[in-house]
Amino acid sequence: MIKHKFEYDRKRGMKQALTDLDKPIGANAGDSGMVIEYLTEEYIKNTKYEILLINCGLHDVRIDKDSNKVQVELKDYKMNLIKIIEISKAMATKIIWVGLTPVIDEIHNSRKEGFLRYSKDVYAYDIAAKEIMEQYKIPCIDMYNFTRNLGTDIYLDHVHFKEKIRELQARFIADYLNFI
């Protein structure tokens, strides 16, 4: 949807990431600390982007079922976002933040294995990210509200979306980019 206007690139390792979408490997960048690590590696390689879309947060809000500890505390997430912005500004002409996507507690947390996520946390991290992006004058694609408005029968599993929903999300992002 954007190839007529942009060359698209992303973190490598899609096949590896698709083996387990809950594990941050390959193309799955993981939490905000892992995004900092990846961007730092790219910065060292002198990688440059015209436009850099950034998103993280769903891995940050994961809560360990045994310890009840969140993966990345909100205050640390905010600091990580500022570091991500600083690194990104050195690599990209324009930075765009893509917001988090919502979760439904009953669906996500009904799984026996894995970790917990709560809608209230996803919302809090999304709002915090939007506030920081506004403070640093980084435009935002509001994926949270866009996706939330699509209803509840949108999930393929506990957090990933059905193909039709992914197509709508892709169109939403593409429409934003095509009007830059």
3-state DSSP: the chain helix, strand, coil percent, rounded to 5?
Answer: 45, 10, 45
Residue 62 reports pLDDT greater than 50: yes
Residue with more model confidence, 29 or 174: 174
Burial of 112 (C-beta count, 10 Å sphere; 0-12/13-18/19+): exposed
Given this model, what pLDDT does residue 166 score? 96
Residue with more model confidence, 115 or 25: 115
Taking only the tens place, the pLDDT of each residue in 120-166 is: 999 999 999 999 999 999 999 999 999 999 999 999 998 899 999 99
- Decide: pTM greater than 0.75: yes
Read off the pLDDT band of 55 (50, 70, 90).
very high
Given this model, what pLDDT does residue 8 score? 75
3-class secondary structure per residue, 69-128? CECCCHHHHHHHHHHHHHHHHHHEEEEEEECCCCCCHHHHCCCCCCCECCHHHHHHHHHH
Please give the span between the terminal C-alpha atoms of the chain, in angstroms, as a whole number.
Answer: 14
Name beta bridge partners: 63. 70, 116
Read off the pLDDT band of 27 (50, 70, 90).
very low
Angle at which helix 32-44 crosses helix 74-91, to 10 degrees, equals: 20
Domains of the chain with bracketed CATH: 14-178 (3.40.50.1110)
